[in-house]
Chains A and B, each alone.
Chain A
Amino acid sequence: MAQHHEEFEFEGKRALTERQFEQLCTEHKPKAHRSLLSTIIILTQPTSN
């Protein structure tokens, strides 16, 4: 059986334009900018599509 864990997340989001995104990247110098790639595979039931 795969390793299992659960968590409760509190998150807030704001949509950005590319320019705003670049501005925040420049000013905050975040780690792993454009070097960390996650791939999300969307799964669903055929009936809910």
Chain B
Amino acid sequence: MKERNAALRIRLKEDEMTLTLKIKMEDGAHEKHDRLPLESWSTETPLSALPDATVLSWLEEEWGISKSSLLHLGTLSTHRATWNSDDGSYFLDHSEYLGTSDFELEFEGSSTSHVNLVLKQLAKTYPFLLQNDDPSPKVKRFFDRKQSLQEKM
């Protein structure tokens, strides 16, 4: 899955549980979502007990990845705050995982060029946005942290 620039996650948000396969494309990201019944899975439950979902069928049929071959690696929690403007939606994320935390600003727009333009405009008010990196995806940051902790052991 890593080689395909894809990640599979279950997100618990208020009273929703969503299974998402996110595939990073050259221009944007394609997301496949399945809303699961709230009580259908918990971290103590084997992943083989996940209910039937379109995403899981797709993974098995298209990539040959069966539900039984999935492994739960850990949890990343995000405190998210949002504001909207005429340009689109802004998200401020504070993420905590494996004994560390980080912060990021995310903007969702209508196209890649739109997103770049809006962030460039915002950087006129907040010049630090020009100096700061485009962070790697949360899942990758989680993996990198896990790997670095394993190397220290």
Q: How large is the interface on B (under 10, 10 to 19, 20 to 34, 35 or more residues)?
A: 35 or more
Residue of B nearest to A39 (CB): B12
Counted as pairs of residues, one from A and one from B, with CB atoms less than 8 Å apart, the total is 204
A17 partner residues in chain B, CB cutoff 8 A: 103, 128
| A7 to chain B: closest residue by CB | B31
Contact B71 A14 (CB under 8 A): no
CB-CB under 8 A from A33, the residues of chain B are: 79, 81, 92
Q: CB-CB < 8 A to A38: which residues of B?
A: 11-13, 77-78, 80
B residues within 8 Å of A by Cβ? 1-3, 7-14, 19, 27-37, 43, 47, 51-55, 65, 69-83, 90, 92, 94, 102-112, 114-116, 118-119, 126, 128-129, 132-135, 138-139, 142-143
